[in-house]
């Protein structure tokens, strides 16, 4: 199986020794504590899960600035986005050498992790904008990633962490949430060597289904990892339980047995386009995948990125940095001419009218009205699950 990124073995930061974990939880109750931002909590979960291997915790400002500028830390490690514990107020942890990080997303704010404090630094004027512009390629506050990042506060707490739980993800998504450790173990148990990963924050329609099959066949993979984001999205996106149900139904009915793993990870979407695509590749390599599908506008939002910027950024990475290979996909759609789903670049003789294309807005309108989607666009069983959700939403607003 492919090696993790940056080390020979995966080093998740979750404390698996139960006796030690209980001792740390007890110690945490005596420590100065900080209720962290939701996106920071996502970073904690990813560090605990092994997806951010080989990082040991949160970066300082010097590392964050260099990562933003050149995609490498001060020690030379390639990394695409700063991983920071940012907060607006450090009065409760002033001069602390060790602190408890508390979960903002679970009632009672239970302890998520214990952090050794190497430094508490204040971001100077221009630092936040510099990082945001490099990572998101814009300073527009209308970009949800920019507004989220710039609103987290000006203090940065750096240092290694020990993770003590996985927030709400294990409880709310027991059949879907998996750590990188667990995915590696299951890939090994299935006897797979080549695995294609597919990232999704949306339900999967016919085009997504066929893209997974096209990529699997193209690289002669043993299986596909459908890896869905379970954390916070933007307003209007479909909740994770609905996406999960729709994807499971599609796989059950339309993929051969033992060719797909359906899993999810606990992280809030960054919407950082190309930079986030590279981050996604790193944590798929850490999960044991040999290939990763990058399509049009991967991890994008609005019109902030070019259609294939998330593919082009991989040409800027020094050769050999990542072992995972990128499967560069074009937009996929059902061809009326060929009576099958194709990648648009493969059919230069087609015009727009030769494809079945629906905008996201049109899909939502049809489902909310109880209208069937074209079978060429969406499997009927998937559409019914989504229709139930949209009709409930419409009834709730009525």
Active-site residue identified among 202, 296, 364, 384: 202
Indicate if 201 belongs to the active site. yes
Kindly list the distances between the CA atom of residue 293 and the CA atoms of 66, 229, 373, 381, in Å, as whole numbers in the listed order: 28, 15, 26, 25
Instruction: State the Cα–Cα distance between residues 220 and 259, nearest whole angstrom.
Output: 12
Instruction: State the Cα–Cα distance between residues 313 and 273, nearest whole angstrom.
Output: 10
Q: For strand 355-356 and strand 332-335, is the pairing parallel, antiparallel, or unpaired?
A: antiparallel
Active-site residue identified among 21, 98, 190, 201: 201
Indicate if 328 belongs to the active site. no
Q: For strand 195-200 and strand 223-229, is the pairing parallel, antiparallel, or unpaired?
A: parallel
Instruction: State the Cα–Cα distance between residues 104 and 99, nearest whole angstrom.
Output: 15
Beta bridge partners, 370, equal none
All residues at 6 or more sequence positions from 260 whose CB lies less than 8 Å from its CB, including other chains: 212, 223, 224, 225, 226, 251
Instruction: State the Cα–Cα distance between residues 47 and 180, nearest whole angstrom.
Output: 10
All residues at 6 or more sequence positions from 363 whose CB lies less than 8 Å from its CB, including other chains: 373, 377, 378
Instruction: State the Cα–Cα distance between residues 128 and 393, nearest whole angstrom.
Output: 37
Instruction: State the Cα–Cα distance between residues 35 and 110, nearest whole angstrom.
Output: 9
* DSSP letters spanning 151-194: TS-SEEEEEEEEE---TTHHHH-TTTB--HHHHHHHHHHHT-S-
Q: Which residues are catalytic?
A: 201-202
């Amino acid at each position: 199986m492919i090696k993790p990124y940056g080390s020979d073995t995966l080093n998740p930061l979750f404390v698996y020794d139960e006796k030690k974990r209980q001792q740390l939880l007890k110690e945490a109750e005596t420590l100065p504590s900080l209720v962290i931002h939701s996106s920071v909590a996502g970073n904690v979960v990813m560090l605990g899960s092994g997806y951010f291997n080989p990082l040991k915790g949160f970066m300082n400002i010097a590392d964050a600035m260099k990562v933003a500028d050149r995609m490498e830390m001060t020690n030379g490690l390639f990394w695409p986005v700063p991983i920071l514990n940012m907060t607006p107020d450090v009065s409760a942890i002033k001069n602390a050498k060790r602190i408890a990080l508390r979960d903002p997303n679970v009632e009672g704010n239970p302890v998520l992790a214990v952090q050794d404090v190497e430094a508490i630094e204040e971001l100077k004027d221009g630092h936040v904008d510099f990082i945001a512009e490099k990572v998101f390629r814009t300073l527009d506050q209308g970009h949800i990633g920019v507004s989220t990042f710039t609103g987290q506060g000006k203090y940065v707490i750096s240092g290694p962490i020990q993770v003590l739980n996985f927030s709400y993800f294990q409880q709310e998504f027991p059949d879907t949430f998996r750590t990188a450790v667990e995915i590696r173990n299951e890939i090994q148990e299935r006897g797979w060597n080549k695995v294609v990963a597919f990232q999704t924050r949306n339900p999967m329609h016919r085009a997504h289904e066929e893209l997974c099959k096209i990529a699997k066949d193209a690289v002669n993979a043993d299986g596909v990892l459908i890896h869905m984001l379970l954390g916070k999205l933007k307003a209007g996106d479909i909740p994770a339980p609905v996406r999960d149900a729709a994807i499971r139904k599609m796989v059950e009915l339309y993929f051969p047995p033992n060719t797909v793993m359906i899993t999810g990870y606990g992280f809030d979407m960054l919407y950082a386009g190309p930079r986030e695509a590279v981050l996604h590749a790193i944590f798929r390599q850490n999960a044991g995948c040999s290939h990763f599908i990058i399509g049009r506008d991967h991890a994008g939002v609005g019109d902030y990125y070019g259609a294939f910027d998330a593919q082009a950024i991989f040409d800027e990475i020094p050769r050999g940095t990542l072992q995972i290979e990128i499967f560069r996909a074009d937009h996929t759609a059902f061809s009326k001419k060929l009576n099958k789903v194709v990648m648009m670049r493969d059919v230069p003789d087609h015009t727009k009218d030769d494809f079945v294309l629906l905008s996201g807005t049109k899909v939502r309108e049809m489902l909310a009205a109880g209208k069937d989607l074209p079978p060429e666009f969406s499997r009927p069983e998937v559409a019914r699950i989504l229709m139930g959700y949209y009709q409930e939403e419409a009834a709730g607003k009525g």
